């Protein structure tokens, strides 16, 4: 959710500033890029050197870089425009009052007034200050400007009193921001089930029947769904790929039978289901307990049919939007459309083996998206990440139609 985001952290002069060292660590761990503006009073509570070391960026406080020539300055506009998110934590009563009134007497306030991104404010002050009408007025004004207030917590305060006004803990700040981002995304509140990769059908303890699927298309679909706010269950066959995301639950399977049972487990509560796995149609009827020794010039294996996962899901479908994949070599549209109707799908993604750069083992794909109205949307050759976004755009259009 925060991976790759540019985050501008403003730290003002309250005792809760010490918590920002932990907050910076959490942002870095989440994969964010972070720059910090420290007010002069805040530097009494937390060291610029510590923050610079943790953030891997210089910490700034003044418009003019005092160690350089007087014409060298910290550009507040650049800082404000660089940020994907701005967080002010702790936000003192003084700073919030200035933000509400448009006062601008330091670098942090100038960057705030220049920012075009969402701004999150984590107040911190003593309980009587937090309840004062002027603070309530400041917060109401800040919210009316589009800022997000991260509510202060009840607890022990620097004064020794116990009450509301304690800055939210770093973990709570991160969770608030993630939940806020997620709530504004098109798939927020939706559960998405995706199958990916090949299946391996055992012959003996050493050998198996498999295919060349890398799982990349399914993994890109999972990343895209999560980036759009969905909770994702990724059921994947054996692959070298890995994925880490707060909203993605990876379920590792090996065989088609494993995939069938895992998919069935999550299907009922899913809203969108995309079966992108290359599932083996057949498996050996008998699996040898020991490695089969080489003896004769030929080896005969009796194969039996695996459960058709997509068709079984189509039969169970109630409210789910179910999408399958079809990799064809001839009569592509006719065969894909027939598969969609036969398996009771809402849409099917067609790949043609005739298209260079599409199919297994490559980072690109060329697809046509076909729905039950026989509307065919064809896309140019793109990276699989771009293809995943195209697929979800088509799904979202049809679900909201």
Do 198 and 341 belong to one domain? yes
pLDDT tens, residue by residue, 313-367: 999 999 999 999 998 878 889 999 999 999 999 999 998 777 777 767 788 999 9
Write down the catalytic residue from 57, 94, 180, 211.
211
Q: How far apart are CA 325 and CA 369, in angstroms?
A: 9
Do 86 and 220 belong to one domain? no
Specify the pLDDT at position 110: 92
| 1 part of a folded domain | no
Which structural domain range is residue 120 located in? Answer: 6-183
pLDDT tens, residue by residue, 120-133: 999 999 888 888 99
Label residue 63 by pLDDT band (50, 70, 90).
low
Do 251 and 323 belong to one domain? yes
Asked whether the whole model's pTM tops 0.85, one would answer no
Asked if residue 69 has pLDDT above 70, the reply is no
User: Which domain-ending residue is among 148, 183, 218?
Assistant: 183
Active site residue 211: yes
Do 238 and 339 belong to one domain? yes
CATH number for the domain harbouring residue 332: 3.40.50.10300
| 383 part of a folded domain | yes
Number of domains in the chain: 2
Label residue 65 by pLDDT band (50, 70, 90).
low
Asked if residue 172 has pLDDT above 90, the reply is yes
Asked if residue 33 has pLDDT above 60, the reply is yes
| 76 part of a folded domain | yes
Do 156 and 201 belong to one domain? no
CATH number for the domain harbouring residue 28: 3.40.50.1950
Do 31 and 126 belong to one domain? yes
Asked if residue 14 has pLDDT above 60, the reply is yes
Percent of the chain with pLDDT over 70: 96
């Amino acid at each position: 959710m925060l991976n790759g985001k540019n985050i501008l952290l403003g730290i003002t002069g309250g005792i809760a500033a010490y918590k920002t060292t932990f907050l910076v660590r959490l942002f870095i761990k989440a994969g964010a890029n972070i720059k910090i503006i420290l007010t002069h009073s805040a530097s009494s509570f937390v060291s610029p050197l510590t923050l610079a070391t943790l953030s891997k960026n210089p910490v700034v406080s003044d418009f003019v870089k005092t160690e350089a020539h007087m014409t060298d300055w910290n550009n507040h506009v650049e800082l404000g425009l660089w940020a994907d998110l701005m967080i002010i934590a702790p936000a003192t009563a003084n700073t919030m009052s200035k933000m509400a009134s448009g006062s601008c007497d330091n670098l942090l306030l100038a960057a705030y007034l220049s920012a075009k991104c969402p701004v999150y404010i984590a107040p911190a002050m003593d309980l009587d200050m937090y309840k004062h009408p002027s603070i309530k007025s400041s917060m109401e004004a800040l919210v009316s400007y589009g800022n997000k207030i991260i509510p202060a917590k009840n607890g022990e305060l620097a004064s020794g009193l116990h009450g509301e006004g304690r800055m939210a803990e770093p973990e709570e700040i991160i969770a608030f921001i993630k939940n806020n981002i997620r709530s504004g995304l098109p798939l927020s509140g939706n559960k998405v089930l995706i199958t990916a990769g090949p299946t391996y059908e055992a012959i003996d303890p050493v050998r198996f029947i498999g295919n060349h699927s890398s799982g990349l298309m399914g993994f890109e679909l999972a990343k895209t769904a999560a980036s759009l706010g969905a909770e994702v269950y990724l059921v994947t066959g054996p692959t070298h790929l890995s994925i880490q995301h707060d909203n993605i639950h990876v379920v590792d399977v090996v065989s088609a039978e494993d995939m069938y049972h895992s998919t069935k487990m999550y299907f009922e509560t899913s809203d969108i289901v995309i079966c992108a796995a290359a599932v083996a149609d057949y498996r050996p009827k008998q699996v040898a307990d020991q490695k089969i020794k080489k003896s004769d010039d030929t080896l005969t294996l009796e194969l039996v049919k695996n459960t058709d996962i997509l068709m079984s899901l189509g039969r169970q479908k109630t409210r789910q939007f179910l999408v399958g994949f079809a990799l064809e070599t001839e009569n592509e549209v006719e065969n894909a459309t027939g598969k969609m109707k036969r398996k009771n799908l809402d849409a099917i993604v067609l790949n043609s083996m005739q298209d260079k750069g599409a199919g297994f083992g490559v980072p690109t794909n060329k697809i046509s998206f076909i729905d039950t109205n026989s509307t065919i949307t064809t896309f140019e050759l793109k990276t699989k990440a771009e293809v995943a976004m195209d697929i979800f755009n088509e799904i979202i259009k049809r679900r909201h139609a």
